[in-house]
Amino acid sequence: MPAHLPAFFMKTAVAARSNPDALYLIDSSIYVFRGWHSMPASITDAGGEPANATLGFVEFLYQLLSRRSPKLIACAFDESLGTSARNEIYPDYKANRTPAPDDLKYQFQWCKRFSEAIGITTLASGKLEADDIIGSLAGIAQLQKTNVIIVSADKDLCQFISDGDAIWDFTRDTWMDARLIEKRFGVRPHQIADSLALSGDKVDNIPGVPGVGTATAARLLIKWGNLTALLDNTDKVPTMKFRGASRVAELLESHADTIRLARQLTGLIPDTSLDSDLSGYTITPDDDALKTVFDQLGFGERRRIQWQTLLEKITTSV
C-alpha cells in the first residue's frame, strides 16, 4: 500500500477484499509478460519451445488460487493490438507498442490453454481489449449485486470499481477500493476515463490537452462532474481559483475535438457477447485437457499432484 495513504483507507480496502463470493477478473496479459521478463529464457516445454512466460503465468495462477480460493473467476487476455475497435477510431492508438515476438505469441496460446484446462472461463477478442471484457463483466456482476475484485496493476481498470469492489495489484499485494482510488487519483472511479481524456495517456498513445495534467483534470472534474458538463461550461472555467485557469479554458475550447476523440479511447467499449449467468464462472477442470498441458509443460508427478489437490479443494468448497 502506498505510504502516503492513511491507515483509515487501508482498512477500507481490507473490507473490500474479505468477500468470499466476489467475482475475480484477471488482467492476464500483465502476468504473462511478467513471467516473460522474470523467468529464465532458457526454460522450454516438452517440444523444446520457450516456456518461461507460460510457467510464470502458471505459477501466478497457482499462488492466486491458493491464497484466495475464488468461487467465481475469469481470465481476460489481450489479442487486439493494432486490430481493436479503438484503432478504427484512432489509428495511432497504442502505435508506440512493439508487437509480441513469435516466441511470446506461442506462449500466450499455452497460457490460455492452461487457464481453460484448470476450468477458468478464459476470454479474448480480436476487436475488444481485456479491459473491455473485464469492465463489461464487472458491470454484469454489479447489476447482480455481486462484488468484483480486479486483479491488475493497470490504473485504467480502476474506472470499473464500485462500492464494495477492489482492484488488487497481485505482485505488490496492494489493494484499492473506490475510496482509495479517489484518494490516489483525485477523482472517483467513474471519472477516470474523463480524466485520461483530458490529460492523455502516453502508455496507450492517447492524445490529451497540452498543459493539462492529472491534477488540473481532477480540479475540473471535481467542479463540473464530467466532460460533457465541463465542455458546456468552458466559459466559466476562468472563474475557478487556480493559477492559469483562463489559459486552461482556452486550451479546452481549442482542443474540444481531441478531448471527445480521446474519451472514445479511454472508456469502456461493451462486450455484448459475454454470458450474464455468473454461475458459469465457477472453476470446472477438464481432466483430459489438464493432462495435455501438464505433459506439454513437462510437469512431474509432484507438480501434478499439487495442482490436482488445489483444484479439488476449490471445486469441493464451491
What does the pLDDT look like over 156-172, one tens digit per residue? 999 999 999 999 999 99
CA distance 209 to 201: 11
269 pLDDT band, cuts 50/70/90, is: very high
CA distance 221 to 198: 10
Beta carbons within 10 angstroms of residue 302's beta carbon: 8
82 and 32 in contact (C-beta within 8 Å)?
no
The distance from CA 234 to its chain's CA centroid, rounded to whole angstroms, is: 32
Q: What is the pLDDT of residue 19?
A: 82
CA distance 297 to 288: 15
- Please tell me the pTM assigned to this model: 0.93
Full strand arrangement of the beta sheet holding 72-78: 121-125, 72-78, 23-27, 148-151, 166-169, 174-176
What's the angle, vertex CA 106, arms to CA 116 and CA 91, rounded to 5?
100
What number of helices (H) and strands (E) belong to the chain?
14, 6
Whether 7 shows a pLDDT value over 50: the answer reads no
pLDDT tens digits for 194-231? 999 999 999 999 999 999 999 999 999 999 999 999 99
Q: What is the pLDDT of residue 16?
A: 62
pLDDT tens digits for 280-293? 999 999 999 999 99
pLDDT tens digits for 10-69? 445 556 677 889 999 999 999 999 999 999 999 999 999 999 999 999 999 999 999 999
Where does the chain show beta strands of DSSP type E? 23-27, 72-78, 121-125, 148-151, 166-169, 174-176
Q: 479554458: which residue's cell?
A: 249
239 and 248 in contact (C-beta within 8 Å)?
no
CA distance 13 to 179: 8
CA dist 20 → 69, 146, 151, 171 (Å): 8, 11, 15, 21
Section 240-268 average pLDDT: 96
45 and 110 in contact (C-beta within 8 Å)?
yes
pLDDT tens digits for 113-130? 999 999 999 999 999 999
Residues in a beta bridge with 167: 150, 176
Query: Does domain 7-184+269-317 correspond to CATH entry 3.40.50.300?
Result: no
* Residue of 192, 193, 227, 207 lying closest to 90 (CA atoms): 207
pLDDT tens digits for 73-113? 999 999 988 889 999 999 999 999 888 899 999 999 999 99
Q: What is the pLDDT of residue 82?
A: 84
8 pLDDT band, cuts 50/70/90, is: very low
Section 262-271 average pLDDT: 97
Give CATH superfamily name and number for 189-266. Answer: 5' to 3' exonuclease, C-terminal subdomain (1.10.150.20)
Whether 5 shows a pLDDT value over 90: the answer reads no
Grid coordinates belonging to 24? 475475480
Domain boundaries, the chain: 7-184+269-317, 189-266
Whether 1 shows a pLDDT value over 70: the answer reads no
Where do the H-state alpha helices sit in 171-224?
178-185, 192-199, 214-224
Mean pLDDT (the chain, rounded): 93
150 pLDDT band, cuts 50/70/90, is: very high
Q: What is the pLDDT of residue 15?
A: 62
CA distance 119 to 121: 6
SS3 category, 237? helix
CA distance 99 to 80: 10
